[in-house]
Amino acid sequence: MVVKMDLFDLIKEFVMLPGVSGFEGPIRRYLLEKLKDLDPKVDSVGNVSVTIGDGDEHIAIMAHMDEIGFVTTHIEKDGYVRFSPVGGVDDRMLYGRVVEIFTERGIIYGVIGLIPPHLSTAEDRKKSPTWKELAIDVGAKSYEEALSLGVRPIQPGRWKKDFVRMGDYIVTRAIDDRAGCAILFDVLNRVRNKKLKKKVTFLWTVQEETGLRGASAVTTRNDYEEVYAVDTMTTGMMPGVPFHLSPVKIGEGPAIRFVDRRGAASEFLREKVMKIAKENGIPLQIAITGGTTDAAVAFDHGLRALPICIPVKYTHSPVEMSHIADIKNAIDLLVKIIES
């Protein structure tokens, strides 16, 4: 299918913004600037919201701003920088990577190297080092030189990103959940000038990757009739993975998670959304999978909640892969939900 480039460009803008869990400032500032004519709000924990429409019914649509990454923890005497992961980081993807450390002076690049085969034993090469064994080389030969570059403990960082378009596929880091952020932004722009019969709050939440904390704070304080969490969902559509573990396919529509590790989604919303999708010819997949989303804490707080997810290969890796058709269909589905 042919999709105009502006949707790809919008997703890329969101993907490339820094926003490690607990350090979402850059993406928050971006949203506040882009949405300034809609009077965006920032709550006490850092969530960004915009409310439009009128009526007694009030629904919320949310996506999380944060991404997995790391924080610097210590600088060694020889200038190497120790770090600690933030969120669900897989040790296997850590080494042999260029990283970005976000300092007051800007981005400092570094590398997480690995002992080369010339200097390692066969036994060494069978092992996968953990983050505790690794360090970041920022090109400094001493503690003082690392400081002079602007590196300090407790600075956020991430693995350097590429954004690659492969036809209608997107390959990059942090599709989880910058795709969701872009979807909300696009949906908001499509419905902002319509006469809506309900209030709709668009929420960009913080710290999903470290415990659904932003969504927990906002759903504790608000009685929305319906909550939709727009996120990603790992597909079992890859070599070495039994498909039944997460039976959704890339390119065949967004998916609603009936059940994940935190429980079942709202039965009422499941039936409602499946009906809307069918009536409007929007492809929709249904699955049970692992992991969870911001919808779980909304449900915990007594609200009807449903995750609407973009299928993704290689989740939480530098090469997350999604299909633009799934993103477009998620946008269309959310517009119809709002108009229903």
Tally of domains in the chain = 2
* The last residue of a domain, from among 159, 187, 222: 159
Q: How many CB atoms are closer than 10 A to CB 239?
A: 4
Confidence of residue 273 (pLDDT cuts 50, 70, 90): very high
Does 334 share its domain with 225? Answer: yes
**336 pLDDT exceeds 50?**
yes
**Statement to judge: residues 179 and 289 lie in one domain:** yes
Both 193 and 280 in one domain: the answer is yes
pLDDT tens per residue across span 61-97: 999 999 999 999 999 999 999 999 999 999 988 989 9
Same domain for 48 and 85: no
Domain range for 258 = 5-67+173-339
How does DSSP classify residue 332?
A: H
Residue 1 has pLDDT above 50, yes or no: no
Q: Clarify whether residues 223 and 205 are in a common domain.
A: yes
With vertex at residue 19, the alpha carbon angle to CA 97 and CA 222, rounded to the nearest 5 degrees, is: 145
Q: Which helix (H) or strand (E) holds 70?
A: strand 69-75
Q: Judge if 149 and 26 occupy the same domain.
A: no
> What average pLDDT score do residues 229-233 get?
97
CATH number at residue 228: 3.40.630.10
185 and 293 inside one domain: yes
Q: Are 232 and 315 within 8 A, CB to CB? A: yes
pLDDT exceeds 50 at position 24? yes
**Residue ending a domain, choose from 159, 185, 208:** 159
165: in domain = no
Residue type, 109: Y
Report the SS3 class of residue 92: helix
Q: Is residue 86 part of a domain?
A: yes
Tally of CB atoms within 10 A around 75: 23
Asked whether residue 62 falls in the same domain as residue 200, the answer is yes
Q: Other C-beta atoms within 10 Å of 150: how many?
A: 16
Neighbours of 242 (CB within 10 A): 8
Q: How far apart are CA 23 and CA 46, in angstroms?
A: 10
Any domain includes 46: yes
The dihedral sign for the CA sequence 134, 139, 145, 147: negative
CB-based burial of residue 339 (10 Å sphere; 0-12 exposed, 13-18 middle, 19+ buried)? middle
Residue 334 lies in a domain: yes
For 208-219, the pLDDT digits (tens) are 999 999 999 999
Sign of the C-alpha dihedral, residues 220, 223, 224, 225? positive
CA dihedral 282, 287, 291, 297 (to 10 degrees): 70
Rounded CA separation 25/28 (Å): 5
For 18-57, letters b (16+ CB in 10 Å) and e give bbbbbbbbbbbebbeeebeeeebeebeebbbbbbbbeeee
Cα distances (angstroms) measured from residue 233 to each of 11, 168, 202, 273, 287: 17, 18, 21, 17, 9
86 vs 212: CA distance, rounded Å: 13
CA dihedral of residues 333, 334, 338, 340 (deg, nearest 10): 20
> Closest Cα to residue 309, out of 24, 323, 167, 148?
323
Q: What is the pLDDT of residue 126?
A: 80
pTM of the predicted model as reported, rounded to 2 decimal places: 0.94
Kindly state whether residues 87 and 197 are assigned to the same domain.
Answer: no
Please report the pLDDT score of residue 311 as a whole number.
97
Mark whether 208 and 322 lie in a shared domain. yes
Q: Residues 263-291: what's their mean pLDDT?
A: 93
What pLDDT band is residue 121 in, cutting at 50, 70 and 90? confident
Whole-number Å distance between alpha carbons of 251 and 322: 8
Assess contact for 112 and 93: CB atoms under 8 A: no
Q: Which of 24, 67, 100, 208 is catalytic?
A: 208
Under a CB-based contact definition with an 8 Å cutoff, are residues 153 and 72 in contact?
yes
The pLDDT score that the predictor gives to residue 111 is: 98
Q: Is 193 part of any domain?
A: yes
Mean pLDDT of 179-187: 98
Residue 238 in domain: yes
Clarify whether 208 is annotated catalytic. Answer: yes
In a domain, 166, yes or no: no
> Span 292-298, mean pLDDT?
90
∠ at Cα 162 (95, 317), nearest 5°?
Answer: 45
Closest Cα partner for 81 from 102, 65, 63, 54? 102
Kindly report the CATH number assigned to the domain that includes residue 89: 2.40.30.40
Give the pLDDT band of residue 3 (cuts 50, 70, 90).
very low
Q: Which of 101, 124, 159 is the last residue of a domain?
A: 159
User: Is there a single domain that holds both residue 28 and residue 96?
Assistant: no
